[in-house]
Amino acid sequence: MGGENWVSRPSSRHLRGRRTTDTEPEILLRRALHAAGFRYRLHVKLAAACTPDIVLPKYRMAVFVDGDFWHGCPQHARRSEVRGPNENLWRQKVERNRERDRRAVELAEGLGWKAVRVWECEIRNDVEVVLKRLGKIAASQVGPA
């Protein structure tokens, strides 16, 4: 974000100091995973530029919890449109985030992990549906006994 000229606006003040870890959707998902008997680790650096929010080592699963606005949720793209003097800069930022997300998935999978991306809205809508999806993926990751 080097030479970009962001215009400070009072209406954008709420964006300062946003959490990047331990967000509400992450905590909701972690509680559901733990209650279902899954054990996990948090923010394990698998490689440079690849730090999933949740790692389930037993299943070699790396879970990334993506905020709808910051990662450009396709379901909420219209709702999260930004207008004003920073509009293009925000679009570029979200696109950089999405590209970084793609690279992180490639890195994790290249290291033998199953990378799973989960949208904030999915967790907020029904964490049990997300939990079932992760459970199915975990079951497919475990070899025959």
pLDDT digits (tens, 9 = 90+) for 9-21: 665 555 555 666 7
The pair of three-digit structure tokens given for residue 122, joined into one six-digit string:
């999915």
pLDDT band at 89 (very low <50, low <70, confident <90, very high): confident
Report the candidate in 66, 39, 28, 47 with the shortest Cα–Cα distance to residue 138. Answer: 39
| Number of CB atoms found within 10 A of residue 52's CB | 25
State what percent of residues in the chain have pLDDT above 90.
Answer: 63
Residue that wins the pLDDT comparison between 1 and 129: 129
pLDDT of residue 81: 64
Q: Which residues pair with 41 in a beta bridge?
A: 55
Report the candidate in 62, 69, 68 with the shortest Cα–Cα distance to residue 41. Answer: 62
Which amino acid makes up residue 83? R
pLDDT mean over 88-99 = 89
pLDDT of residue 111: 98
pLDDT of residue 52: 98
Average pLDDT, the chain: 87
- The 10s digit of each residue's pLDDT in 24-82 is 999 999 999 999 999 999 999 999 999 999 999 999 999 999 999 888 898 876 655 66
pLDDT of residue 12: 57
Highest mean pLDDT among 28-32, 82-86, 93-97: 28-32
pLDDT mean over 80-109 = 86
What are the structural domains, with CATH classification, of the chain?
40-141 (3.40.960.10)
